[in-house]
Amino acid sequence: MSESKAPSILVIDDDAEVRYSLGRVLSSKKYQVLEAGSGEAGVAAVKKGPTPDLIFLDVRMGGMSGLEALQHIRAANPKQLVILMTAFGTAQTAIEAMKYGAFDYIMKPFDPAKVLALAENALKAHADMRSAGDYKPSINADDYREGIVGASPVMQDVFKVIGQVTASDVTVMITGESGTGKELVARSIWKHSHRAKGNFIAVNCAAIPDNLIESELFGHEKGSFTGATNQRIGKFELCDRGTIFLDEIGDMALATQTKILRVLQQGEIQRVGGTDTIRVDVRILAATNKDLESMVKAKTFREDLYYRLNVVRIKMPPLRDRREDIPQIVDFTLQNLVKQKKARVAKVAPEAMAVLARYDWPGNVRELENLVYRSAVIAQGDAILVKDLPAEVLAAAGAGSTPAEPANPTPPTGAGNRVSTPPTAIAAHQGHQSATPAMVSGSAPSVTVEQALDFLQSELSKLEEPILERLEREMIVRSFKALDGNLARTAELLGMTRATLRKRVEELGLQPS
């Protein structure tokens, strides 16, 4: 939509009164409102053009239903934003609406303020999609076959060390927080080494119980322990002339550490329950997110093994220390998702990318990749928008509430303490507006703080429950909604125990789900 032309909104509903009322509300913001009295007429209008910027579509209509019309509209224009209207807020309606690509849905009868907020958010999303239309990926994923992405100085230093250690069989210790890409570094060392034709086997030492890890690494003979019905070849034998990657080696038991040291010193292993010595030619790469130096002092990690593993150390930086790499990692992830047909979105709106760059990423690259996957799946257009990002990321990045669930904005104050957008009910109380059976339409003029206080004083006496109880109810309901009904997180946010929150929910007659 051009700056000189008001956004166009098409209202599709077989109830003329609803179309009139909704049109009055939207016209108050100078939106250009178009109407269609049936699903068939609405679909025809979209196909004929010009394409509206936004559509409000009723679910239950005579003839073509709203869900059927939604599918036809999205087939004609996959980028079209549609808000469904319904008087029946069932789970099936919500699921079907989002399944077929609705931007959101709103319940009848309408709250004009919510209608306008939802329209504003949808039109903002429309503008974001247009801004993402010029999106140019920062990299080509095919150029990063190693899977390690980053142009920051700290990552360039990592790449240099990888190149230096590939020409020899030196043991390498890779350290860093979880999710920083330690295994990718190990695989890159293997691929560029003279052992690339041999096997590469990664073993997560933290995931294997202590009583099984020796069998996993060194194999066992038949009958060596209960359940050993056959001879088993261990990972070291399978990696002969190859490379073994011992991930989370800080979780390895001391008894097993002793046997790893023997492999490093003598190149020999013995299967569990066996007596024969087996020669193996294996390069060992190890990784940990623990402080091995402190573990050595505490005698929970063998000092001699530590020095044999820590010949060359590569420290992977956390993602928060290389934020300039975030756009490249996002592009790499999106391109691979599209190539694997796991998602169809390959763009990110500039505002969404800015949010990603501000977040601290405690889970590092792994967390970023998972978030990109999640956002690409739920994105309704051809780009990831701010509204597609999780609420906790938006909050932590200082981006406020998600556009799909706008918080009530704080009314700006200025000269004369005037409020630019007061509640519609205040204006109605003063006689500025009247209500139709379908909804309250139109927009209230500005009122002073004094007028607002007068309204509150007259209305508080009409409340059916004490004001503090009503406020508590509203806080609990909104907190549950913002945190997807998570009882523990809601209790933490409200500063109470789960038991106390559960009791108040029961006393107030609320349903946590």
3-state secondary structure 102-166: CCEEEECCECHHHHHHHHHHHHHHHHHHHHHCCCCCCCCHHHCCCCCCCCCHHHHHHHHHHHHHC
Is 53 inside a domain boundary? yes
Q: Of 172-181, 311-320, 393-402, which range is least confident?
A: 393-402
* CA quadruple 507, 509, 510, 511: dihedral sign: positive
Same domain, 442 and 505: no
Q: Which pTM value belongs to this model?
A: 0.66
pLDDT at 440 over 50: no
Provide the percentage of residues in the chain whose pLDDT is more than 70.
Answer: 84
pLDDT tens across 399-437, in order? 654 443 333 333 333 333 333 333 333 333 333 333 343
Residues 23 and 95 in one domain: yes
User: For the chain, how many structural domains are there in total?
Assistant: 5
For residues 233-250, give the mean pLDDT: 96
Residue type present at position 276: D
The listed range with the strongest mean pLDDT (133-142, 318-327, 477-486) is 318-327
Q: What is the pLDDT of residue 448?
A: 57
Give the model confidence (pLDDT) of 23-33 as tens digits: 999 998 889 99
Range picked from 297-301, 347-351, 424-428 for highest mean pLDDT:
297-301
**Would you call 203 exposed, middle or buried from its count of C-beta atoms within 10 A (0-12, 13-18, 19+)?**
buried
Tokens of 437: 């059976």
Helix, strand or coil, per DSSP, at residue 384: strand
Range with the lowest mean pLDDT among 126-130, 295-299, 301-305, 443-447?
443-447
Q: In this predicted structure, what is the pLDDT of residue 420? A: 33
Residue 441 contacts residue 25 (beta carbons within 8 Å): yes
362: domain CATH number is 1.10.8.60
> Of 153-162, 235-244, 339-348, which range is least confident?
339-348
* Residue 502: pLDDT band with limits 50, 70, 90: confident
Q: What is the pLDDT of residues 188-202, one digit of tens each?
A: 999 999 999 999 999
Burial 59-84 (b: 16+ CB within 10 A, else e): bebeebebbebbbbbbeeeeebbbbb
The tokens describing 383, both together, are: 């780009």
The pLDDT score that the predictor gives to residue 456 is: 57
pLDDT at 462: 54
**108 within a domain of the structure (yes/no):** yes
Choosing from 407, 429, 449, the residue where a domain stops is 407
Kindly tell me if the per-residue pLDDT of 166 is higher than 90: yes
Indicate if 310 and 177 belong to the same structural domain: yes
Please report, to the nearest 10 degrees, the dihedral formed by the alpha carbons of residues 429, 430, 433, 437 taken in order: 20
Task: Tell whether 46 and 69 lie within a shared domain.
Answer: yes
Residue 472 has pLDDT above 80, yes or no: no
Average pLDDT of the residues of the chain: 84
Is a pLDDT exceeding 60 seen at residue 513?
no
1 within domain boundaries: no
Tell whether 193 and 298 lie within a shared domain: yes
**DSSP class of residue 310?**
-
Q: 301 with 403, same domain?
A: no
| CATH classification of the domain holding 482 | 1.10.10
Structural domain that includes position 183: 163-316
Q: Per-residue b/e over 307-345, b at no fewer than 16 CB within 10 Å?
A: ebbbebebebbbbeebeebbbbbbbbbbbbbeeeeebeb
Residue 3 in any domain: the answer is no
Whether residues 19 and 109 share a domain: the answer is: yes
Task: Please tell me the predicted confidence (pLDDT) of residue 432.
Answer: 37
Between 381 and 71, name the one with better pLDDT.
71
Q: Which of 82-91, 118-127, 442-451 has the lowest mean pLDDT?
A: 442-451
